[in-house]
Structure 1
Amino acid sequence: MKKIVLMVVAMLSMTMTYAENENNNATLNADAYNMNINMRKLAVTLGLNGDQMEAVEDIHNNFCNEMKLAAAANSDERAALVDNAVRKDIRYMHYVLDRKQYRTYLMLLNVTLQNRGLK
Structure 2
Amino acid sequence: MKKMILTMVAMLSMTTAFAEGETANMVSNIEAYEMNINMNKLSDALNLADDQKEAVENIHYVFNTEMTYAVQYGNTDRDALVKRAINTDVKRMSYVLNEEQMHKYLMLLNATINNRGLNK
TM-score, length-scaled by structure 1 = 0.94
Structure 2 CA distance for aligned equivalents of residues 66 and 73 of structure 1:
12
Q: Which residue of 2 aligns with 1:96?
A: 96
Q: 1:32: Cα distance to partner?
A: 0.9
State the superposition RMSD in angstroms: 1.1
Residue matched to 1:58: 58
Deviation of 1:2 (Å): 2.1
Alignment of 1:60-79 (within 5 A): 60-79=60-79
| Cross-structure match for 1:14 | 14
Q: CA deviation at 1:13?
A: 1.1
Question: Percent identity, aligned pairs only?
Answer: 51
Structure 1 stretches of 4+ moved >2 Å: none
Q: Name stretches of at least 5 consecutive residues in structure 1 with no aligned partner.
A: none
Q: Distance in 1 between matches of 2:30 and 2:103?
A: 28
